[in-house]
Structure 1
Amino acid sequence: MKTRPSLPWPLILALGALALVRPLLRILDARTGFDSPTSLPLIVTLVISAVWVAAVALSRTARPVLTLVLAGLAYAVFSILLSGLLSPLLDGELRGPLATPIAIVPVLTINAAWGLVTGVLALLVQRGALQRA
């Protein structure tokens, strides 16, 4: 009977937390009135994606796709909780997915898909690195 390798939960949670840079930058942008480039969210997302792929590929995680799908889901949960904590403080009322629960499923789905795409990329990087070795 084969046992599957355990999932790297510290890595999954750390990568999910790293992605909180996205909403935190958006909050900072809105609060400071700084006129950031419209491309900034895309650039930040691409940088986070590259870090996710590199971290999982270079650590030779046994199940990179599942690891990054779970990182995407962790980020979704963290961002929903962050929105629930900060929106009453910053806006005076609850906003975001917790205020509109029907939005929770799309948030989870989109971020799981983000993890799926980056997980497939990490798997391809791992396979390419193994073939060269």
Structure 2
Amino acid sequence: MSAGSDADVRGESTADFEFTPMRAQPVRPYRAVESGGWQPGHVETRHTRRETSRSTAADLPWKLIVTLSAIGLVRPLLSMFGVLDALGKPWSPVAVTVVLAVVWVATVVAARVSEPVATLALAGVGYGVLALLLNIVGAATTDAEVAPPIGLAAMILGNGVYGAVLGLVALGLLRLRERARG
């Protein structure tokens, strides 16, 4: 039985529904305008409202993403110069990682970034790429070895996931902040 005949069986006109691959959604033949009136001629659905609220890559705060990616290099640089060893392992790398995570989340929340998950996921990927380049430069200038290709890919992917998780934390904090302000 087709979707149109399902609506007919329920006694509904198929003109009152928009059929999408997911489900039929009721539509309104009029839309509210900012002035409070109704305008004929535009069909508005939940689908069209969702599309207009999506951000594009151009809408992301790229300077912030690059800056956060670069700030993330503090930990590997401290490790390369022996500072983390001098401070005492295993706690110093963990402490620096936690501080950097707090800085990333606090920066995104303070800036009220509209897409915190995408922003921090991309910052994580950017950090992974910069750390990979740092690994290659470090291997070329010292007796260290370059990570194997699977390790390099995992470095980028893992840091992207790490950034996305921090982005979810930032998103939660932003929503709490909105609720608190009413």
TM-score, normalised relative to structure 2:
0.65
Equivalence for 1:96: 146
Instruction: Write the deviation string for residues 99-120 of structure 1: whole angstroms up to 9, x where unpaired.
Output: x212122111210111011100
Q: Does the Cα contact within 8 Å between 1:29 and 1:36 map onto a contact in 2? A: no
Equivalence for 2:71: 18
Specify every segment of 5 or more residues in structure 2 that has no aligned partner in the other structure, as ranges: 1-50
Match of 2:61 among 5, 8, 14: 8
Matched, 1:56 2:104: no
Alignment of 1:17-36 (within 5 A): 17-29=70-82, 34=86, 36=88
Q: Does the Cα contact within 8 Å between 2:65 and 2:122 map onto a contact in 1? A: yes
Equivalence for 1:82: 134
Amino acid at match of 1:67: T
Give the Cα–Cα distance (whole angstroms) in 2 for the partners of residues 78 and 127 of structure 1: 31
Distance change in 2, residues 1:33/1:52 (3 Å): closer
Equivalence for 2:169: 121
Equivalence for 2:178: 130
Secondary structure of the residue that 1:34 maps to in structure 2?
helix
Equivalence for 1:46: 98
Query: Which protein has the bigger helix share?
Result: 1
Q: Does the Cα contact within 8 Å between 2:79 and 2:85 map onto a contact in 1? A: no
Structure with the larger RCO, 1 or 2 (CA within 8 Å, 6+ apart): 1
When the two chains are superposed, the root-mean-square deviation of aligned CA atoms in Å is 2.0
Specify every segment of 5 or more residues in structure 1 that has no aligned partner in the other structure, as ranges: none
Using the TM superposition, give the Cα deviation of residue 36 of structure 1 relative to its aligned residue in structure 2, in angstroms.
Answer: 2.2
Q: Does the Cα contact within 8 Å between 1:68 and 1:119 map onto a contact in 2? A: yes
Secondary structure of the residue that 2:114 maps to in structure 1?
coil
Amino acid at match of 1:25: L
- Number of equivalences: 128
Name which one, 1 or 2, has greater alpha-carbon Rg. 2
Q: Does the Cα contact within 8 Å between 1:57 and 1:125 map onto a contact in 2? A: yes
Distance change in 2, residues 1:41/1:33 (3 Å): closer
